[in-house]
Amino acid sequence: MRTTLWSHVELRARERLAQTSDVRDISSTTAEWNSVRRRPDWREVQANRAMAALLMPHRIFKRLALRDIRELGLGTPPVAARDKERLTATLAELLQVSNQAVGIRLASESLVAPA
C-alpha cells in the first residue's frame, strides 16, 4: 500500500510539474533520500536522552538549577533569556557537561523563558 500511495503522490507531482514551465526530476529515490537526511536518527535521539538522564538526573538537576537561580539572584523561573547564558555556564561547569546539554535540559524543565 505504501508503494502504491507513493506512486500516486509521485504521479500527481509529475502532472503538476508538467503543467508548469519548470521541469525537474523528482524520482522517488531523490525525494526519499532527501527526507531521510533531514530526519534525526531515532537511535541518536534515544542515546542523547539516555545520557542526559544519566549525567543530569531530573531531581538533582532541578534542585541544583533552582538553587543556582536563587544564588545568582535571577528571580523566579522561568529565567529571562538574557540571564540564561550565565545560569547555563554555571550548571555546565558544576555538572561537567556541555552548555548545550544544560540549555536543552533547562528548556525541557521550563526553567528558562523561550527564546
| pLDDT one-digit tens code per residue, 69-109 | 999 999 889 999 889 999 999 999 999 999 999 999 999 89
Amino acid at 62: K
φ/ψ of 112, rounded to 5, equals -125, 150
Do residues 78 and 108 make contact, with C-beta atoms less than 8 angstroms apart?
A: no
Q: Is the pLDDT of residue 23 over 90?
A: no
Coil, helix or strand at residue 79: strand
pLDDT of residue 103: 92
Contact residues for 31 (Cβ-Cβ < 8 A; gap 6+): 10
Distance between CA atoms of 85 and 115, rounded to whole angstroms?
Answer: 12
Give the E-state strand segments of the chain in sequence order. Answer: none
DSSP notation for 15-33: HHHHHSS------HHHHHH
pTM for the structure as a whole: 0.61
User: pLDDT-based confidence at 15, cuts 50/70/90?
Assistant: low
What's the CA gap between 48 and 52, in Å, rounded? Answer: 6
Cell 555556564 belongs to 89
Assign 1 a pLDDT band (cuts: 50, 70, 90).
Answer: very low
Query: What local confidence, expressed as pLDDT, does residue 30 receive?
Result: 56
Q: Which residue has the higher pLDDT, 19 or 58?
A: 58
pLDDT digits (tens, 9 = 90+) for 26-67: 455 555 555 555 667 888 888 888 888 899 999 999 999 999
